[in-house]
Chain A
Amino acid sequence: MQKRAMQGNSLLKGRLRASAWGRFVFFFGVIVLSFVFGACSKFQPGIGYNKNYQPDQPIPFDHSVHAGQYQIKCQYCHNQVERSKHSNIPALSTCMNCHIQVKTDSPFIAKIREAYEKNTSIEWVRVHMLPDHVQFNHSAHVQKGVSCNTCHGAVDTMKTVYQFTDLSMGWCINCHRQPENKAPLNCTTCHQ
């Protein structure tokens, strides 16, 4: 599999190198694009990626307290991660399991309680986002024994969650290619 993909790469390069005109367009394009991308991005390590993206959340939920200090397991809140492709953001009812008693005087908890009672919700800002044409399956990876930290970093030390890896295709493939992982490398594994 690895060999095939390599061949594919060199094939692609071969075509681009084929003509002088192609080479000119290619390099000119790269210069223009990197200028445009560079000017617009504040923190992207690569073009279009969002490593270290750390948006403000409506409630400053502190993972380092919950997962770090109190050692609450990830799956207590993200309880569907083992059986679904998505790792769910917990329903407010999950927060209220504890916060009906714990730290009830906090204004943020009050906000949650209010939303819970009114049956509305909290609009969290999405941190990890894959492009539309990528399908990622959490349960398959968790089942395989991939630790949450591998992709999400040491969330138990994060006060505010940020994107730990660049979540680029190269980064995914890098893991899938390791022979010991026996992971599939078909395009439709992620793109369908």
Chain B
Amino acid sequence: MSENHQDHDHNHDHDHSPEIEAQKREILSKRPKPTAGRDERYWNSLEQWGKDPEFQKLAEQEFLTSPLQEEDKADGWARREFLKLMGASLALGSAGCLRRPVQKIVPYAKQPEEITLGQALNYSSTWFDGSETFGLLVKTREGRPIKYEGHPQHAFSRGALSARAQAHLLSCYDPDRLQAPQHNLQKEGRANAETVSVTWGQLDEKVRAAVANGGVTLLTGQVASPTLRQMIKDFQTETRAQHIVWEPTNPESIALGQEASYGTKLVPSYRFDRAQVIVSVDADFLGTWLTPTAFNKQFAEGRRNVEGMSELVVFDSHYSLTGANADKRFKIKPSQQLTVVMGLLYEVVVKAGHSSFAANTEFKEALSAFENAGALLGFSDPKALEKVAQSLLKAKGQSLVVAGGTATQNQDALLLQVAVNALNSALGNDGYTVVYGQSQVALTGSHQALHQLVDDMMAGKVKTLLIHSVNPVYYLGDWFATALTKVETVIYTGSHMDETAIKADFVAPDHHSVETWGDSEALTGIYAIQQPTIQPMYDTRSILLGLSQWGKISSALGKAESDYEMVRIYWKDRLLSSLGFKGSFEDFWLDLLQKGSVGALKNERESVRTARVEKLYGAKPNKQEGFELLLYPTVQLGQGELSNIGWLQELPDPITKIVWDNYASISIATAEKLGLAEGDKVEVGMNDLRIKVPVHIQPGLHDDVVAMALGYGRTRAGRIGNGVGFNAYNLMTHTQGGCYFSGQSLSMKSAKEKYTLANVQGHHTMEGRAIVIEATLQEYLKDKSAGIHKHKIFSIWPHHRYDGHKWAMSVDLNVCTGCSACVVACQSENNIPIVGKKYVLQGREMHWIRIDRYYTGNPSEAETVFQPVMCQHCDNAPCETVCPVLATVHSNEGLNEMVYNRCVGTRYCVNNCPYKVRRYNWFNYRKTLEKSEALALNPEVTVRTRGVMEKCTFCVQRIKTAKDTAKQEGRALKDGEVKTACQQTCPTEAIVFGDVNDPKSRVAQLFKEDPRSYSLLEEFHAAPAVRYMTKIRNNSERVINAPHHQHHEEAKKGDHA
């Protein structure tokens, strides 16, 4: 197809003299493959950028493997591996010859009032992922939860969910969950792994006795539930227990920084929507830092109106999701973070003489050491910092500087925070974009407290240790495990027999969050209620009841008999009056259950606090040389608690697009220096530790950075998470008072071993045609459709008639941040299977929506554009015309329908799809589901079998449900009533779905009136029902759409660092 399609969009504005033509022919003949019609400014991978002939060959192949090459016998190992990953298969009930299978209908004995068979019930609820709180609507069918939706009324998360929140539901049905209380016999002279089931009565008796002995410590992850926090307080009063809160990625340095600068220890909330200029120093606020989903929403709000869009400047040690969305991205290394902020302070305070600090000579003296920070940082433009400072000053009072995350967890972490606070105060941002009056109350984790605890354990001061919802043995390894052996009784409450549970004496399985009552406090004063939506699957118990039992708590809260009573008592006694609700508690409670949450964001401007800067007086630029370590949590796995969820393991990393692995990311120059290719193993050495890890060559990375993802290398996560990747927590440094994740020097050399990383970017490539369209803000202001090439199209097709609805979707690339929540939402809604690493390598991943990540520019400084691609529901669909059995046809509402029961699997359609959105069932993936996992399936969507094609349906089941509801209520369908799963969860509201035949609908207006709107491969005239909107970069120094097409030359100029 690519050969036939000639370069009509580039040829016409070139000179056609015979000389040039001859030259051109010569150039073209030397290239590995014709590149006519391709936009070489954008590339998916280094192989594509370098025009690797192997890659070209792959790109032109529809299927990476043919079924004929599938040697089933030789492939036996892989097949077994696949089954191991996915669980044992269900036995297929033999249906007999033709005798229909007899099905039984078992009605309720007593009809529950709320249940109508076949109709979904939504319950307001909430979930805390260890750092961020979400308001949820849990969609249930006949008493089992099948999908999480964002709750639009929650004041903080406002209807958005993250990829991990979407996937969390599946952990309820995880077959590896703990199913009953366990007693570990390690202290009885048996092997460590021997556990026996006990009853709750026996367990409670033993634990009560241990707790009564004194010397009790409770170690938990960060707690967002106010009821649980109160219960822990009551437990402490009763037993004089110590309470330690710790999670590996806790933001303690921010709290300590606030204390050092302003005297109050808290983690403030931020308002990215209010900021005109945002500067982030390694704070991946769109990916993993604090509350990324809410930040995504705020960030998009500041950019939706293009004329007034905010500017994002990122100083990035690792190629983070935030860096990928930056208007200006600077690569740095962790040891340079402080230099960046001090350099900015120098520009603002000393050079511009701004703020009260300008009178502080001592501070100015300290800052003068950073006078030539730009040169120290090695930026190509030595005036870069000055320019950033000028934008900040221009937007003073309405800008925001943030730093944080594991990338900043090093010896300078505190100084960095103090410097950031000073900068925000100097610019007058404090109190407006940094909201200290409404803080992140749940984020109280502390590395210092953890060190104290381990010391106490080693000294034998801790007799009984209760561990709840944190897995320290996985994070801390032998350091913690050794200390555990000094504790008389260890009790663990959690969901799995994980790394810590196996070392505990008693394991008390906790309810899943969809099985129990609870609550959450997202920010000060924003509360949400968590309702159970399913009977507990197994013999588990809420931690609330555990604590009240073990501590024999005598308060009203402790005496209550169920989690329901406890939550109600807390809300009645403690919250009702403070929320200022007048009226009876029952009225309040019913209202709460419906709305799901109470409280609002504080919108008034607070006064600017004066920051203390004494700590910064001695600061000197850090001139560390050599490789530096950087450990980071990922968007898909976070810290690694949810590693046993296949959806997350198979969710491509937003930047690298690699699945089922972690790796050491290194820069291109470093790879060339060490003679490494993608996937080669290196030996990384730090202190006494030597580990061999595969490398990923990451464009746009600093040459001295070696970045590795946390959350992998679990040994006891379950059948899916075990043994995926390596445990990067081993490289974490524990020193007195801190856990360091970055900046440590390390050595690296080639291990001369090969490894294969499964990278999905490169699969389903659209062969480099002009797909993503970008423009700078300046270009946009001059020409609102800058960059869009309009084609003159005539059609030989008769047009379809759409008399009723005509469904269509608009995707705004300017606000899409690539967070990938939509991918998991779609997977959950549409029963999409996972296939495992082996088959991802063969290009058989099943996601109906993929997010293409394009790099652009010089590979050593590459910028990124994201583009979600799903079935485009073309009016002149190329797939429809080639299906020999009419299994894919056009509906009179503009949907490209896939009829599974007609499909015979010729795969002609996928060969003919220019967008590469069709997915083929190579196996009967349903058989790999465990019985409990099958409960998570959406009954509205057919589960596909082997040998049929599938693809995005525009959530046709949701369209039909909404239409039926409207019909029943005797009214017309309203705009916005049908929300696709991807749209519902999207934190940035980049996706708009609706009926273009309704001229008032949002999507119709976007299509008609927004000049940024364009369709993919318009020149093919497939007439897609999905249109995209140009990505705008707020960077006046860039030229993206030069008046003439010069990009071939530009791309060639880019060299290897």
Asked whether, in the complex, the Cβ of B886 is within 8 Å of the Cβ of A191, the reply is no
B50 interfacial by beta-carbon distance below 8 Å: no
Asked whether, in the complex, the Cβ of A15 is within 8 Å of the Cβ of B884, the reply is yes
Q: In angstroms, how far is the closest chain A Cβ from the Cβ of B276?
A: 46
Asked whether, in the complex, the Cβ of A80 is within 8 Å of the Cβ of B886, the reply is no
Interface residue ranges of B845-889 to A (CB < 8 Å): 884-886, 889
A1 interfacial by beta-carbon distance below 8 Å: yes
* 28 A-B pairs with C-beta separation under 8 A: A36-B98, A40-B97, A41-B98, A44-B98, A53-B100, A83-B968, A84-B118, A85-B119, A90-B107, A90-B111, A91-B111, A120-B109, A121-B107, A124-B107, A126-B102, A126-B105, A129-B100, A131-B901, A133-B901, A139-B964, A139-B968, A186-B897, A188-B891, A188-B895, A188-B953, A191-B901, A191-B942, A192-B953
**A interface residue numbers (CB < 8 A to B):** 1, 8, 11-12, 15, 36-37, 40-41, 44, 48, 50, 53, 55, 80, 83-86, 88-94, 115-116, 118-126, 129, 131-133, 135, 137, 139-140, 143, 184-188, 191-192
Which residues of B have CB within 8 Å of A85?
Answer: 118-119, 964
Interface residue ranges of B97-125 to A (CB < 8 Å): 97-100, 102-111, 116-119
Which residues of B have CB within 8 Å of A36?
Answer: 97-98
Q: In angstroms, how far is the closest chain A Cβ from the Cβ of B880?
A: 11
Asked whether, in the complex, the Cβ of B116 is within 8 Å of the Cβ of A84, the reply is yes
- With A and B bound together, what is the CA distance between A129 and B100 in angstroms? 9
User: Whose C-beta in chain B lies nearest to the C-beta of A42?
Assistant: B99
Which residues of A have CB within 8 Å of B99?
Answer: 40
Instruction: Name B's interface SS.
Output: loop
Which residues of A have CB within 8 Å of B895?
Answer: 186, 188
Asked whether, in the complex, the Cβ of B899 is within 8 Å of the Cβ of A84, the reply is no
B585 interfacial by beta-carbon distance below 8 Å: no
B749 interfacial by beta-carbon distance below 8 Å: no
B960 interfacial by beta-carbon distance below 8 Å: yes
Asked whether, in the complex, the Cβ of B117 is within 8 Å of the Cβ of A80, the reply is yes
User: Whose C-beta in chain A lies nearest to the C-beta of B112?
Assistant: A91
Q: In angstroms, how far is the closest chain A Cβ from the Cβ of B116?
A: 5
Asked whether, in the complex, the Cβ of A93 is within 8 Å of the Cβ of B109, the reply is yes
Asked whether, in the complex, the Cβ of A192 is within 8 Å of the Cβ of B940, the reply is yes
B563 interfacial by beta-carbon distance below 8 Å: no
Interface residue ranges of B899-955 to A (CB < 8 Å): 899-901, 940-943, 953
Ordered nearest first, which 10 A-B pairs have the shortest CB separation?
Answer: A91-B111, A186-B891, A40-B98, A91-B108, A40-B97, A86-B118, A126-B103, A85-B118, A123-B104, A86-B117
Interface size on B, residues (CB 8 A): 41
Q: Flag B160-202 by CB within 8 Å of A: 1 or 0 each.
A: 0000000000000000000000000000000000000000000
**B interface residue numbers (CB < 8 A to A):** 97-100, 102-111, 116-119, 884-886, 889, 891-893, 895, 897, 899-901, 940-943, 953, 956-957, 960, 964, 967-968
Which residues of A have CB within 8 Å of B891?
Answer: 186-188
Asked whether, in the complex, the Cβ of B97 is within 8 Å of the Cβ of A119, the reply is no
Asked whether, in the complex, the Cβ of B98 is within 8 Å of the Cβ of A48, the reply is yes
With contacts A124-B105, A125-B104, A133-B901 known, is A12 near B957, CB below 8 A? no
Q: In angstroms, how far is the closest chain B Cβ from the Cβ of A57?
A: 10
With contacts A40-B99, A83-B119, A88-B117 known, is A188 near B897, CB below 8 A? yes
Asked whether, in the complex, the Cβ of B957 is within 8 Å of the Cβ of A91, the reply is no
Asked whether, in the complex, the Cβ of A187 is within 8 Å of the Cβ of B899, the reply is yes
Asked whether, in the complex, the Cβ of A135 is within 8 Å of the Cβ of B940, the reply is yes
Q: In angstroms, how far is the closest chain B Cβ from the Cβ of A144?
A: 9
Asked whether, in the complex, the Cβ of B968 is within 8 Å of the Cβ of A89, the reply is no
Among candidates A120, A135, A187, residue contacting B897 with C-beta atoms closer than 8 Å: A187
18 additional contacts, CB 8 Å, given A188-B891, A188-B895, A188-B953?
A: A36-B98, A50-B100, A80-B117, A83-B119, A85-B964, A88-B107, A93-B111, A116-B110, A119-B110, A121-B108, A126-B104, A132-B942, A140-B964, A185-B892, A186-B892, A186-B895, A186-B897, A191-B900
Q: In angstroms, how far is the closest chain A Cβ from the Cβ of B877?
A: 14
Which residues of A have CB within 8 Å of B885?
Answer: 12
Which residues of A have CB within 8 Å of B97?
Answer: 36, 40
Among candidates B98, B118, B956, residue contacting A192 with C-beta atoms closer than 8 Å: B956
Which residues of B have CB within 8 Å of A84?
Answer: 116-119
Among candidates B107, B116, B119, B901, residue contacting A89 with C-beta atoms closer than 8 Å: B107
Q: In angstroms, how far is the closest chain B Cβ from the Cβ of A127?
A: 9
Which residues of A have CB within 8 Å of B111?
Answer: 90-91, 93-94
User: Whose C-beta in chain A lies nearest to the C-beta of B895?
Assistant: A188
Q: In angstroms, how far is the closest chain A Cβ from the Cβ of B271?
A: 42
- With A and B bound together, what is the CA distance between A185 and B804 in angstroms? 13
Which of B107, B117, B964, B967 has the largest number of chain A CB atoms within 10 A? B107
Which of B116, B893, B895 has the largest number of chain A CB atoms within 10 A? B116
Which residues of A have CB within 8 Å of B968?
Answer: 83, 139, 143
- With A and B bound together, what is the CA distance between A136 and B111 in angstroms? 23
- With A and B bound together, what is the CA distance between A11 and B883 in angstroms? 11
Which residues of B have CB within 8 Å of A94?
Answer: 111
